[in-house]
Copies of this chain bind each other. A is one copy, B any other.
Amino acid sequence: MTATPETVTDPARQDALEDGQLKGSFVDSIGEALEAGDEALIQEMVEPLHNADIADLIEQMPPADRAPLAAALGDKLDPEIIAEMDETVREDLIDLLSHERMAEVLGELDTDDAVAIVEDLDHEDQRAVLREMQPDDRAAIEEALGYPEESAGRLMQRDLIAVPEHWRVGDVIDYLRGGSDEDLPEDFYEVFVTDMRHHPVGTIMLSRVLRSPRDMGVTDIMEAEQTLIPVEMDQEEVALRFQKYNLVSAAVVDASERLVGVITVDDIVDIVRLEADEDFRKLSGAEEGGINERTRDIVRQRLRWLVINLGTAALASLIIGLFAGTIEAMVALAILMPIVASLGGNAATQTMAVTVRALATDELTQANTRRTIVKEIRVAVINGLAVAALTGIGAWLFFSDPALGGVIAVAMLGNIILAGLAGVLVPVTLDRMDIDPAISSSVFVTMTTDVMGFFLFLGLASLLLL
C-alpha cells in the first residue's frame, strides 16, 4: 500500500494539494520552472508528491509540455506514474520512450498494470518491447495477452499463495516465513487451498492463519465456499460478482478449473468507475472519449451520433411536413408543438436512464421485467395526466381556445405514456438482442417521442380543430 499523508503535517505537500486535487497555482509554477529549464527545481517540487499526483500533474499540463516535463523528471519518472496515467496521455508519452526503457518500466510493474500498458501498444512496438524484457516477465505478459481484452485473464495477478489440502497451519506459517522473496508475492491477503489437480477448494484469510493453532488442518479453517472466476469472463461481469458477493479477492480458474490467478477488489474499483463512465457517455452520444481524448477522436466519435440524430430529426420534420397545411391555417400549432416533443423526450430519458443502469448492474432481470414495465406505465399515466392538465390549461388561457387546450393535453398524455413504454422497452429489447442498450437506446427513444409527439398533436389538431 502506497499512500500520501495528506492530513499529516507536510508543508511541501500542503502547498501542492487542496481538497485532494493539485492546486492550479502549483501546476502553473511547474509550467514556469519548465519554461525556465530548471529541472532541479521541478524535481524538488514533485519530491513530496505521491506518484498518482505526479501522474495528475502530467495530465494537467498542456499537451505540448507533457513530454518535456516527463523528461525533466528524470529518475523521478517512476514506472508507477506511467501506470497511473490516463490512457490517452500515456500513449503520447510512451511514443517518446525507447523500447529498452519501456521494457525496464514494464518489468518493475505488477503484471496486470504492465498488461494494461502493453495491450494499447501497436503490434510492432509490442513485439519490440517484449523482446527487450526478462524472460519470466515477458512470459507472464504474453500469457495475459493470450486472453481476450477486458477479460479476467488480463486483470488477474499470477502471483499467489497456494497450499495443498493436507497441510496444517504450522506448515503454512513456516512456508510463508521461510520462502525467499523471489517465490512469494509482495503483498497478499489470503492463502488458497488446492487439491492434487491444482483445483482451488477453499481460501483462508491471512488473519485466520495467524490466529489459528499450528496443528490445525488448513481444510478445517478454510472457507470452502468461493466464487471461481473463469479466466475468459468479461471484466464487467467480474465486477458485478465482486459487488454482489462483497468479495475482497477471488480465484481465477482456467477451462479445466485449475487455479491460474487471483483478482483483488482494488482492481475492481477502477472497473466499476470506468464502466459507469462509459455507460454515462454512451447514453449521451459522447462515446468513449473522456476529457483527455484527442480533439480528432472526439470529433469523429461525436459526429457519428450527431449525423444519426440529424437523420431522426429529419424524420420528425417529414411528419411535420405532412401537416404543413394545418400549421398554415393555425400558427399556434407551430408554437406549441415543440412542448409536446420536449416533455416526451424528457419523460423517456428519465425512464431510460433508470432502465439502462438497472440492466448494467443486473438489477433488472427476467423475473422483474414485466413488473417494471407495469410500474413505468403507471408512473407515465400519473405524470402524463398532471403535465397534460397543466399544459392544456396553459394553452387554453394563453390562446383563449379551450379546444386547442384539449388537443394538446391529449397529445401530451399520449406521448408521455409512449415515452415511458419506449424508455423501458427499447433498452430491454436491445439487451435481449445482445446490443449494448447504453449506446443505442437514446437514438431510438428520442426518435419515437419526437415523431409521435408531432404526429399526435398535429394529427389530432387537423382532425378536431380545423
Contacts and interface: CB of A to CB of B under 8 A. Distances in A.
A70 interface: no
Contact of A321 (B3, B316, B335): B335
B210 A177 contact: yes
Interface in A194-212: 203, 205-211
A440 interface: no
Interface residues of A, number: 152
A291 B338 contact: no
A410 interface: no
Contacts of A243: 269-270, 273
Interface string A414-451: 00000000000000000000000000000000100010
A394 B307 CA distance: 12
Contact of A227 (B4, B185, B334): B4
A364 to B, nearest CB: 6
Interface stretch (A35-43, A96-104, A141-149, A342-350): A342-350
B354 A342 contact: no
B176 A347 contact: no
A44 B210 CA distance: 36
A346 B179 CA distance: 60
9 closest Cβ contacts across the A-B interface?
Answer: A24-B366, A276-B276, A284-B353, A334-B334, A27-B367, A286-B350, A60-B367, A3-B227, A313-B342
A336 interface: yes
Contact of A265 (B237, B265, B339, B391): B265
B291 A358 contact: yes
Contacts of A339: 310, 313-314, 316-317
Interface string A20-55: 111110011000000000000000000000101100
A53 B375 CA distance: 23
Interface stretch (A114-122, A124-132, A246-254): A246-254
Given A354-B291, A371-B62, A5 B313 contact: no
Nearest to A179: B211
Contacts of A285: 346, 349-350
Contacts of A223: 1-3
A320 B302 contact: no
Contacts of A75: none
A284 B349 contact: yes
A306 B5 CA distance: 46
Contacts of A341: 338
A396 interface: no
7 contacts: A1-B205, A3-B227, A179-B211, A281-B357, A290-B357, A290-B358, A298-B379
A79 B343 CA distance: 44
A12 interface: no
A231 B36 CA distance: 42
Interface in A267-307: 268-270, 272-273, 276-277, 279-281, 283-286, 289-292, 295, 298-299, 302-303, 305-307
A166 interface: no
A176 B211 contact: yes
A289 B207 CA distance: 39
A123 interface: no
A224 B1 CA distance: 10
A400 interface: no
Interface in A171-194: 173, 176-177, 179, 184-190
Contacts of A257: 7
A393 to B, nearest CB: 11
B353 A280 contact: yes
Contacts of A62: 371
B280 A357 contact: yes
Contacts of A450: 338, 342
Contact of A391 (B224, B225, B310, B446): B310
A22 B270 contact: no
A136 interface: no
Contacts of A205: 1, 187
A134 interface: no
Nearest to A205: B187
Contacts of A394: 314
A248 B277 contact: no
A335 B357 contact: no
B273 A5 contact: no
A352 interface: yes
